[in-house]
């Protein structure tokens, strides 16, 4: 084999290794974190819920006269309605990888570690 062929083979092997590492990063990063969510308010856990075992339901959480309406449906969870002024928590949608946060009502919904 000449030097050009060796360089091509080495380049192909390096490219395959890089592609494999990138694929593993995406697979591990996107891996299911489980179905247990924690709902906390003002730093205290108020609910720990296994979404895979939970029936569809509505949970209302109050904080100093304001409320958040949380919906659990088909194994998913989101804030359906809130008394906060900006509704960022409502607009976040269904819980994915990023926690749902309502700063005015000090409410956080996130996957358990």
11-63 residue pLDDT tens: 889 898 988 888 777 666 554 557 899 999 999 999 999 999 999 999 999 99
State whether 13 and 42 are in the same domain: no
Question: Do the beta carbons of residue 110 and residue 80 sit within 8 Å?
Answer: no
What residue numbers bound the domain in which 6 lies?
A: 1-31
Reading the block at residue 21, the tokens are 């590492």
Instruction: Report the pLDDT value the prediction gives residue 1, as an integer from 0 to 100.
Output: 67
| Whether residues 12 and 50 fall in one domain | no
pLDDT at 32: 53
Tokens of 27: 């697979």
How high is the pLDDT of residue 25?
73
- Looking at the 3D structure of the chain, how many domains does it have? 2
> Exposure string (b/e) for 36-68, b if CB count within 10 Å is 16 or more?
ebbbbbeeeeeeebebeebeeeebebebeebbb
- Tell which residue, 33, 1, 7, has the closest CA to residue 110: 33
Do 23 and 46 belong together in one domain?
Answer: no
At residue 104, does pLDDT exceed 80?
A: yes
- Regarding whether 97 and 69 lie in a shared domain, the answer is yes
Residues 55 and 97 in one domain: yes
pTM listed for this prediction: 0.70
pLDDT of residue 20: 85
Same domain, 27 and 40: no
């Amino acid at each position: 084999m000449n030097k050009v062929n060796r360089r091509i083979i080495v380049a192909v092997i390096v490219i395959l290794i890089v592609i494999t590492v990138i694929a593993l990063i995406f697979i591990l990063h996107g891996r299911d974190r489980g179905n247990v969510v924690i709902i906390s308010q003002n730093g205290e856990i108020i609910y720990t819920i296994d979404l895979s075992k939970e029936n569809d339901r509505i949970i209302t959480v109050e904080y100093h006269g304001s409320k958040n309406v949380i919906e659990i449906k088909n194994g998913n969870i989101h804030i359906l309605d809130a008394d906060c002024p900006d509704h960022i928590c409502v607009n976040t949608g269904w819980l994915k990888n990023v926690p749902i946060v309502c700063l005015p009502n000090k409410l956080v919904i996130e996957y358990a570690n």
